[in-house]
Amino acid sequence: MGKITNALKKAAEERMSHVEKMNRVKERDKLIIKMMGESKVDPNIVTYFDPKALISEQYKTLRTNILSMNKGKPPRTFIVTSSIYSEGKTVTSLNLAVSLAQAVNNPKVLLIDADMRKGKMAKYLGVTAEQGLSEVLQETARAEDVLFHLDDWENLAFLSAGQVPENPAELLAGDYMKMFLSKMREKFDFVIIDTPPIISVTDAGIIGPLTDGVIMVIQAGRTQRGIIHRAEELLYQCQTKVIGHVLTNIEYHLPEYIYRYL
Ligand SMILES: Nc1ncnc2c1ncn2[C@@H]1O[C@H](COP(=O)(O)OP(=O)(O)O)[C@@H](O)[C@H]1O
Ligand SMILES: [Mg+2]
């Protein structure tokens, strides 16, 4: 009797948890559809729309790897770069920033678009941010006036690239950039800097040494080994430490429901 009662109770509990789970899924899907429909944020920023998606889990793994580095003293400022254009730097920076901002205790995160030549961060976020890093470094705008947020996510701030300046590399190499970064380091728990590709321009090599390290994005199936070696050599020469690699463009052959837990 006891066993049957227990078994029934267990079955009822299981059923309840199944119903609860389904309701949660319905709630979440409603939320995603609503947000996607109304939002101007690019669907590539999966962590923003659907923190439980398989790809979001991958960014969470990246976050965990970063947070567990150096025995609890993780890198707090880092650049994201790649060897060549269009490997996924900006999409990686954005998803990593959102993912870090969603971590326990909601750390304060700042994402800077330091690709002052072809910065696309604001475009991915669906905003027009006329002023950004370029103006801050030329001292025609103050960071606190041009930083912006999405929705009510106060712990996640963005600084767009701003207008293309005449001399991006010189601006990044100037003392003002050093001062600005150390000020941001005091204000935020994490500062992520999206940069242009290191083989094309030197910018990542200039900012790299001012940070705790670089995350190298590599597009699988496209970027050749020799090019990656050359890129890492350039970073090494600039005394920039590579703290991790992110492979993009990987295909999964198992359907998402197998991975999906909730
Ligand atoms: N993890 C990924 N897997 C597959 N495609 C990706 C991934 N990350 C980005 N992409 C795609 O790569 C293209 C370039 O991304 P972007 O972040 O703008 O590149 P970059 O900043 O390196 O120039 C975009 O079309 C984007 O959808
Ligand atoms: Mg980019």
Pick the CATH number of 44-259 from 3.30.70.260, 3.40.50.1000, 3.40.50.1820, 3.40.50.300: 3.40.50.300
- Opening angle at CA 214, ends 206 and 183, nearest 5: 65
- pLDDT tens digit string along 104-159? 999 999 999 999 999 999 999 999 999 999 999 999 999 999 999 998 789 999 99
CA distance 170 to 25: 50
Q: How far is CA 157 from CA 27, 125, 154, in A?
A: 27, 12, 7
CA distance 159 to 87: 21
Tell how far the Cα of 9 is from the centroid of ligand 1, in angstroms.
Answer: 49
Question: Which residue's C-alpha comes closest to atom 15 of ligand 1?
Answer: 88
Where does the pLDDT of residue 235 fall: very low under 50, low under 70, confident under 90, or very high at 90 and above? very high
Q: Which strand ranges, in their side-by-side order, compose the sheet holding 156-159? A: 148-149, 156-159, 109-113, 190-194, 77-82, 214-219, 242-248
More confident residue, 71 or 124: 124
CB-defined site of ligand 1, < 6 Å = 44, 82, 85-91, 120, 248-249
Q: Is the pTM of this model over 0.75?
A: yes
Tell how far the Cα of 219 is from the centroid of ligand 1, in angstroms.
Answer: 8
Tell how far the Cα of 115 is from the centroid of ligand 2, in angstroms.
Answer: 7
- pLDDT tens digit string along 16-33? 665 666 566 555 444 444
Ligand 1 binding pocket mutation candidate from 91, 96, 214 (most atoms within 8 A of CB): 91
CA distance 64 to 209: 23
List, as ranges, residues with CB under 5 A of the ion ligand 2. Answer: 89-90
162 closest CA partner among 181, 139, 179: 139
Question: Which residue's C-alpha comes closest to atom 11 of ligand 1?
Answer: 88
Q: Which element (helix H / strand E) includes 65?
A: helix 54-67
What is residue 44's three-state secondary structure? coil
Domain ranges of the chain: 1-38, 44-259
Tell how far the Cα of 92 is from the centroid of ligand 2, in angstroms.
Answer: 9
Mean of pLDDT over the chain: 88
